[in-house]
Every structure is written in C-alpha cells, then in structure tokens.
A and B are shown apart, each in its own frame.
Chain A
Amino acid sequence: MSNNLWSRREFVKRAGTTAGTVAVGFGLADLLAACGSTSAPAATGTGNLEIFSWWTGPGEKEGLAQLFNFYKQKYPNVTIVNQAVAGGAGSNAKAVLATRMQGGQPPDSFQVHAGQELISTWVKASKMEPITSIWNAAGWDSVVPKDLKDIVSSNGDIWSVPVNVHRGNALWYNKKLLDSKSVNPPTTPDEFTSALSTLKSKGIATPLALGSKGNWQVQMLLENNILAAGGADFYKKIMSAQASFTDPPVKQALTWIKTWLKYANTDNSAIDWDEADNRIISGKAVFQVMGDWAKGDFTTKKWVPNVDYGVVPSPGTTGKYMIVCDTFGIPKGVKDHSNAVAWVQVCGSQEGQAAFNPLKGSIPARTDVSPSGFDVISQQFMAEFKTDTLVPSSAHGSATPQNFANGVNDELGQFLIKLDVNATASKLQSLSDEFLKTS
C-alpha cells in the first residue's frame, strides 16, 4: 500500500514538473485529493488566497475590500481569506507575521512598508521570492517612478509591488486662522520659525501642534528637516551609513526642532497625531507636520481643503517627496502560489490602485491613474509625485531597518526632554554604527 502511494506521489511530482496546462492542473488536484494529500498546487482561479495586512482602520479597511472585490471579479472561484491584524503601523501584525514565517506557515502575500522593512529582514533571511519577472512582464517600469522601484529593489531583484504612496513631508495648517493673522504659509525653515513667532505674538500660545506619543512623529520632523538641510543626496547617504549623523545638516535639523518646540504644546508626549489634528481644528494651534493620513481627520470633520485647511511641503522640502509606501510581496513556499502571483498583479494594476487609493487617502504608486475620483489635495500630490525627487522615509521603515528607526524614536524622546543637539547627534550616529553598517 505504501509503495503504491509512493509511486503515485512520485508520478504526481514528475507530472507536476512537466505539466503546464490548467486541465492537467485540475487532474493533479483530483489525483492528490484521491491520495488524501492536502498540498494540492491549485491552479489560478481556484483555492484560497490568504492576505495578511494591518488595514483594519476606517478608510483602509474599505480600500482593502475594494481590492478584494476587484480580485474576485477577475478570479471568482478564489476564496480570499482576510488575515488583517489590528494595530497602528503594523505594531501587532509584524509580531504575528514573524511567528508564521518562522513556523514555515507564511501567508500567500503580506503587507509591508516598501524597502528596508522587508529587505533587511525577510529578504536578507532569503524567505522571499523575487517578483522581478512579474514586474517586467507587467511593464511596470514605464508607470512606476524609478526612484520608487529602487526603494523596493536590492541586489538587482525587485521584492514587492507598491500599491499606494503616502507623503511624509507635509505641513498642514488652519487656513482661516492663518489668513486672519495675515501670515503666509511658510516654505523654508526660517519662514516657519518667524511664522510661529508672529502667531505667538498675535495671541496663539502654541501655534505648532505636536503629538509625540511613541516619538515617531518627531522622527518624521527630523527626517524632513534632514532632507531640507542636506538635500536628497545627503539624505540617501546618511540613511545608508555613508554620511555621519554628526554632520552639520543633522545638527541643523535638530536645532530647528529645538527652536520650534518653544511654540509647541507641552503635553505632546501624552497625545498622538490625531489629537494634534483636533488642536488645529479647534483653533488652539495652527500648524502640524504630519503625513497625508492627517487629511482623514479633516475630512470627517467636514473641513474643506483649501478653504478651511491647506497644505504645503514641510519647510524647506519643496520639490521633494517623502515616500511612505505599502507594498505586497510573496514569501517562499506559499500554499497558493499562482493566486498570490495574481494578487500581486492586481495590486500593481491601474484599476486596482484606482479602486484602493481614494478610500485609503493615499495616491497611486503608478503615474498613469486618472486623478478624477481623488480629492483636491491628492490631485495636487499626484501631480507633484510625477516631478518631485522621491526619497524613502526612515520613520516608516523604507529607508532603514525597523530596529534603527525604533532606536531613533527612543533617542528623540530623550531629545524632547534634554534638547541637547550634540548629544543626540552622536547617539544617532552610534545607532547608525550598530544597525545601518551591518545591513
């Protein structure tokens, strides 16, 4: 009996390597089912598709559902298993994912921030499958900016497909309040400082709203400021350990934060960015530097863009786009391989991105999606995305490994208390030595 079974399995294995057609694929599945085996290599269009993400919040949940709908239209017989784990920025999801990957039970595809968050971990551990051939077959080179492609590539291979792009360097302001105090939206750090000081002298005690719970918001300030002080090339160098955090641009960046903190709310460590949004809405504050997900709060409060609120690139970063980007890749050894390939194709498709992004509040990673259907600010960002210099965010896992970004968060928490520019700069450099040089 066991010999009989073995020979059948052997046959299946050999047939599997030569068979290419769907018909044989079905035949194999039937045959394996007869053997009582569960590892049937399902053909595209049948079986399951397990998608792992942390999209459970308002907007993103609906966006994911739209992507699922679009997938189901193309492959109606595939059962999609939504394995979303709640928790902002994937704080819980990443731990669950690690357990599954270590246990050899990877999901068919999982959400991951573009770049180092994937490359320094699962790619380095050779647990991912390159998607270079899918990328080239779909011709995404012509529609995805090369800067962005570089972020998701390493050693000549592409590892995940970007599905959306958020902007990290944005300065949001209460437009009516700013206009009433006759201050112009600032474009440089110095203009920003003088705008803050003018507003303070005109009766707004804390014109800068800051929520620093977890400190990553401060890291966003820092990376935007490094970009402003050192330019895109310096930014890329420092995030790959080819420049030092004790160099003048970093100290300049920290000094700006130190200056601006005088105009920020002192309870910042207890609140998060959404509460800081509320301070702008209630008129207690005028400015906040935050990613474009801040827009969601304004929209739910029925605030009208360019009437109630406005946005400019964060001080000194005009013409530069700080990329915060979600992508999907394929782990090695997934159960439903062809379905996973189809999923990645859907994520990278024009229709998929057009369906997902308006709900998520982000812009498509492709430059050929029609701007109709997006809000005014997304339209403005889509136009700038095509021409701006793109740089990966460190605070959101693209430019640097997670453990570096977490260390920076901790150190910036100290910086908010001690305000010691030189001490923080050298601490940041020692983090760079520990985590950036080895990766």
Chain B
Amino acid sequence: MATATAQPAMVERLPRSRSIFPWSSERLTPILLVAPSVILIGIFVYGFIGQTIRVSLSRWNNVLPDYTFVGLRNYIRLFGIERFQNDLINTVHFTAFFLAGCLVIGLGAAVLLDQRLRGTLFFQNVFMYPLALAFVVTGTVWRWIFNPYTGINVILDNLHLGFLKSGWLTDTNVALNGVVIAAVWQMSGFCMAMFLAGLRGIPEELREAARVDGATEWQLFWRVVFPLLRPITLSAVIILGHISLKIFDLIYVMTSGGPGYSSDLPSLYMFRATFQENLYGRGAAIATMLLLLVAILIVPYLIWNIRGETER
C-alpha cells in the first residue's frame, strides 16, 4: 500500500518547459484532466462536510431547515447525553478488540499460508470469502448463530460444554463482544490477504542470510520478517480503524445497539437522531465528531506517508 502511493515520487522530474504562453497545452492538459474529479470531490465530499458542520452549529432540530447559528449548543448538549457518552466508550472498546482480533488472526493465518504447503490456495480462498459478503448479511447470519434458543448455545449444550454458554447478544456485558466476533470473522480475511502480500514481498535472500547468520526461525520472524511488515500493519490498522469507527449496518442488524446502550455506537445514534427524531442539528454534531475521530487516526498516517515520500 505504502509503496504503491510512494511510486509517483520515484519518477524523475522532467525539466520544466519554458513556454512563453502560461496556458500552453502542456500545462493545461494536466489541469483539465484533474479538474473534474477535483470539482466533484470538492462539492460532494468537502462541500457536504462543510454543510454538515454548518447544520451542526444551527438550530435545525425539527423537520424543516433552520440555519440560525447557535454556536456549539448541539455539541454541549450531545456530550451531556448518557447515550453518547456510552457510545464513545463503546467505540474505543469495539475498535481495540476489532483491530486486535483482525491483526492477530490475519497475521497468524498469513504466516501459516506462507508455508507453501499443499492446499494453501484453498484455505486462502476460504479465509477471503467472508469479505465478499455485505455486513448486513454477516450480521443476519451471526444473529441467528447467537440466538439463545437455536444457535451456538444449543451446540454447546449438546457437546456438554454448557459452561461456555453466554447471552451473546442479550447480556449487557457481552453483546458488544458478540458484534466484535462477527466483525473480526468478516475482516480478518482481508487482513490476512494484506499480510500475505507483505510476506510474499520479502525476498528469500534476507531469510537465507539470517539463517546463515545462525538465527532461529523464531528470531527470524520477530527480527527480520515482522519489522519488514510494519508498513503493511500500519495500513491495515488505518483501513480497519476507519471501518470500525464508521460501522453501522452490522450493529443495526445484530443488536440495534441493545440491550440498553451496551452495543450502541455513534453512527447508530447519528442515524436515529437525524432520520427518526428529526434532530438534524444533533445528528450533524455526531457526524462531525465521527469525522474528527477518523481524522485523529488518518491525519498522522498521511503525514507519515508524505514524509516518507519526500525522504525517499
């Protein structure tokens, strides 16, 4: 990922043509080529972000727009709401467990599949398939699996493993983890694919050299292979991190945020406030907070990436 974005920097700069006309075709063409996407992104991404922020600072909390400026009132109210406070804690919990689960399982599976044994291609596909499903489908399937009377609890009972039974989606202390399990199941295959690509990209010579120097396989992995996987790991964290901050459909289908607020997340509350309670100002404030959260994650990555490019 990082190497792909770094490529343009490696292309040698052509000497700048010294045309008399400032708008020669040589300068105009790139501008014309880039302009449509810049304009569209300007309107449909940044324009709407601006509009959302404007709404979040307005008094619009009924069905019709009312852009009277009220400052940060929507935000101040929002942070006083128990449901939102709870949502923020849940977001941290969900993101931490989701990331840890995906990375550990993804890396483990990738290392195993990198052993070039018989049937690795088959398992590679098996692990990747969940990614092809929509979160809505995953959510529905896992809701059935976690159903107290028909799902996994019945299997555990029949295996005389009753002590492992849990109120997967009905116990306030467990419900969010139930959703994490479903999300990890879906996304760890993606993580595996990224790590696998990273592992395949490590030249055999490096490993050979380490072995010649007398490194054990364990040392080889932690001292040579793992550090080389760092850019991949970071990309995976960024991609999975922003998915976990924005996740909506999976939770909506599996628990709708329940029981109580125990598996509720800001995206769910944003939808509820905006489209079901007509509290547009509050919904926009939640959306802006989500944007800030994602920015906290993405911006350092972008800075790191750009710095990497200029250094090379």
Closest to B254 in A: A270
Q: Which residues of A contact B260 (CB under 8 A)?
A: 269, 413-414, 416-417
Q: Which residues of B contact A17 (CB under 8 A)?
A: none
Q: Which residues of A contact B169 (CB under 8 A)?
A: 269-270
Expressed in whole angstroms, the minimum distance between the Cβ of A374 and any Cβ of chain B is 33
For chain B, residues 77 to 129, give those with C-beta under 8 angstroms from any C-beta of chain A. Answer: 82-83
Q: A213-B258, A267-B167, A417-B259 are in contact. Are A91 and B63 (CB under 8 A)?
A: no
For chain A, residues 290 to 331, give those with C-beta under 8 angstroms from any C-beta of chain B. Answer: none
A95 touches B64 (CB 8 A): no
Q: Which residues of B contact A95 (CB under 8 A)?
A: 275-276
A75 contacts the other chain (CB 8 A)? no
A269 vs B146: C-alpha distance in the bound complex, in angstroms?
13
Q: A267-B148, A403-B277 are in contact. Are A413 and B62 (CB under 8 A)?
A: no
B256 touches A121 (CB 8 A): no
A111 contacts the other chain (CB 8 A)? no
A416 vs B62: C-alpha distance in the bound complex, in angstroms?
29
CB within 8 A of A406: which of B62, B65, B259, B277?
B277
Expressed in whole angstroms, the minimum distance between the Cβ of A48 and any Cβ of chain B is 25
B63 touches A101 (CB 8 A): yes
Closest to B147 in A: A270
Q: A102-B64, A124-B62, A406-B272 are in contact. Are A266 and B170 (CB under 8 A)?
A: yes
Q: Which residues of A contact B226 (CB under 8 A)?
A: none
A270 touches B170 (CB 8 A): yes
A94 touches B276 (CB 8 A): yes
A120 vs B149: C-alpha distance in the bound complex, in angstroms?
42
Closest to B257 in A: A413
Q: Which residues of A contact B75 (CB under 8 A)?
A: none
B250 contacts the other chain (CB 8 A)? no
Q: Is the interface of B mostly helix, strand, loop or mixed?
A: loop
CB within 8 A of A410: which of B148, B255, B261?
B261
For chain A, residues 388 to 410, give those with C-beta under 8 angstroms from any C-beta of chain B. Answer: 402-403, 406-407, 410
A34 contacts the other chain (CB 8 A)? no
B279 contacts the other chain (CB 8 A)? yes
B278 contacts the other chain (CB 8 A)? yes
A121 touches B172 (CB 8 A): no
Closest to A122 in B: B63
A181 vs B167: C-alpha distance in the bound complex, in angstroms?
31
CB within 8 A of B278: which of A269, A403, A417?
A403
B63 touches A269 (CB 8 A): no
Q: Which residues of A contact B65 (CB under 8 A)?
A: 102
A269 touches B276 (CB 8 A): no
A61 contacts the other chain (CB 8 A)? no
A403 touches B259 (CB 8 A): no
A413 vs B263: C-alpha distance in the bound complex, in angstroms?
12
Closest to A101 in B: B63
Closest to A414 in B: B260
Expressed in whole angstroms, the minimum distance between the Cβ of B201 and any Cβ of chain A is 45
Residue-wise interface mask of A (81-110) relative to B, using a CB-CB cutoff of 8 A (1 in contact, 0 not): 000000000010011001001100000000
Q: Is the interface of A mostly helix, strand, loop or mixed?
A: helix
B63 touches A98 (CB 8 A): yes
A125 contacts the other chain (CB 8 A)? yes
Expressed in whole angstroms, the minimum distance between the Cβ of B193 and any Cβ of chain A is 33
Expressed in whole angstroms, the minimum distance between the Cβ of B281 and any Cβ of chain A is 12
Q: A102-B63, A406-B277, A410-B261 are in contact. Are A417 and B170 (CB under 8 A)?
A: no
Closest to B263 in A: A269
A371 contacts the other chain (CB 8 A)? no
A91 vs B275: C-alpha distance in the bound complex, in angstroms?
8
CB within 8 A of B62: which of A91, A125, A417?
A125
Closest to B83 in A: A410
Residue-wise interface mask of A (253-282) relative to B, using a CB-CB cutoff of 8 A (1 in contact, 0 not): 000000000000011111000000000000
A215 contacts the other chain (CB 8 A)? yes
A414 vs B257: C-alpha distance in the bound complex, in angstroms?
12
Expressed in whole angstroms, the minimum distance between the Cβ of B146 and any Cβ of chain A is 8
For chain B, residues 24 to 83, give those with C-beta under 8 angstroms from any C-beta of chain A. Answer: 62-65, 82-83
Residue-wise interface mask of B (243-271) relative to A, using a CB-CB cutoff of 8 A (1 in contact, 0 not): 00000000000011011111000000000
Expressed in whole angstroms, the minimum distance between the Cβ of A399 and any Cβ of chain B is 16
B64 touches A270 (CB 8 A): no
Closest to B86 in A: A414
Closest to A284 in B: B149
B259 touches A98 (CB 8 A): no
A402 touches B277 (CB 8 A): yes
Expressed in whole angstroms, the minimum distance between the Cβ of A117 and any Cβ of chain B is 10
Q: Which of A94, A98, A127, A410 has the most CB of B within 10 A?
A: A410
CB within 8 A of B167: which of A98, A266, A407?
A266
For chain B, residues 132 to 156, give those with C-beta under 8 angstroms from any C-beta of chain A. Answer: 143, 146-149
Q: Which of B147, B262, B276 has the most CB of A within 10 A?
A: B276
B170 touches A269 (CB 8 A): yes
A25 contacts the other chain (CB 8 A)? no
A91 vs B272: C-alpha distance in the bound complex, in angstroms?
10
Q: A102-B64, A266-B170, A270-B148 are in contact. Are A402 and B259 (CB under 8 A)?
A: no
Q: Which residues of B contact A414 (CB under 8 A)?
A: 82, 260-261
Residue-wise interface mask of B (272-293) relative to A, using a CB-CB cutoff of 8 A (1 in contact, 0 not): 1001111100000000000000
A214 contacts the other chain (CB 8 A)? yes
Closest to B280 in A: A98
Smallest CB-CB A-B distances: 4 pairs: A269-B259, A403-B277, A95-B275, A125-B64
- B residues apposed to A, CB below 8 Å: 62-65, 82-83, 143, 146-149, 167, 169-170, 172, 255-256, 258-262, 272, 275-279
- A residues apposed to B, CB below 8 Å: 91, 94-95, 98, 101-102, 120-122, 124-125, 127, 212-215, 266-270, 402-403, 406-407, 410, 413-414, 416-417
Q: What are 24 residue pairs bridging A and B, where the CB atoms are less than 8 Å apart in the complex?
A: A98-B275, A102-B63, A102-B65, A121-B62, A122-B63, A124-B63, A125-B62, A212-B258, A213-B256, A213-B258, A266-B170, A269-B169, A270-B146, A270-B258, A402-B276, A402-B277, A406-B272, A410-B261, A413-B258, A414-B82, A414-B261, A416-B259, A417-B172, A417-B262
Extra A-B contacts (7), CB below 8 Å, given A267-B149, A403-B278: A101-B63, A213-B256, A214-B256, A268-B170, A410-B83, A417-B259, A417-B260
